[in-house]
Amino acid sequence: MKEIKNKITNKLERLLEQWLVPRLVRWGEYLETKIRRYKHQELKSQLKFCGSGLRFKRDIKIDHPQNVSLGNKVYIGPDVLLDGRGGITIGDNTTLGFNVIILSANHDYQSNDLPYEYNVYIHKPVVIGRNVWIGGNVLIVPGVSIGDGAIVAAGTVVTTNVEPLAIVGNQPMRIIKYRNKEHYEKLANKQQIKPEISVNSDTEQHN
């Protein structure tokens, strides 16, 4: 009886793995796509200005969308964050790569509390022109303007205005300092010794 029960259980598990689970995965992906599309439409309706042909790729977060204007044929890549508290304007045909963060408000470090007073911000609008290409993992700080046709290389922290047609980036990479060699080698040697000690101790216990 137990063997029959196990056979039936195993057969049901195989059916679940081979038939039901793949269909559930595809159905879940389909639902995620529909839900994301719905969220994108809702977000677009909340913008200060939404141009035609605006495209969002996968997940995007826009805080205070009522202060954000996105032009015609703007493309925004996945996992982008737009903080619209101080206002963000992006011109036509501009592309934002993945993980781009645009901030338009800073904490007021001169407020009456330390390290800062909660909900006290200095608002500085960010303006990005037409036909701008912003690479992945770029951070744009409050108050920055980027001119038409400019290109911002991946991984750049944009802290000052970018002129039209300029290509900017935080390159080349430079050495800031070195780790303490003696300290590092001591840690590395200890790391190599640890597995040998554990093996010996296990052997002694079994003996």
- Catalytic residue ranges: 107
Nearest CA to 69 out of 42, 53, 89, 95 is that of 89
Cα–Cα distance measured from residue 87 to residue 124, given in angstroms and rounded to the nearest whole number: 7
Cα pseudo-dihedral 11, 17, 21, 22, rounded to 10: -120
Euclidean distance between the first and the last CA atom of the chain, given in angstroms as a whole number: 44
Side-chain half-sphere exposure of 190, counting CA atoms within 13 A? 6
What are the CA-CA distances from residue 45 to residues 14, 40, 190 (Å)? 46, 9, 59
Nearest CA to 129 out of 151, 157, 153 is that of 151
| CB of 173 closer than 8 Å to CB of 155 | no
43: amino acid identity, one letter: L
Nearest CA to 61 out of 106, 31, 91, 99 is that of 99
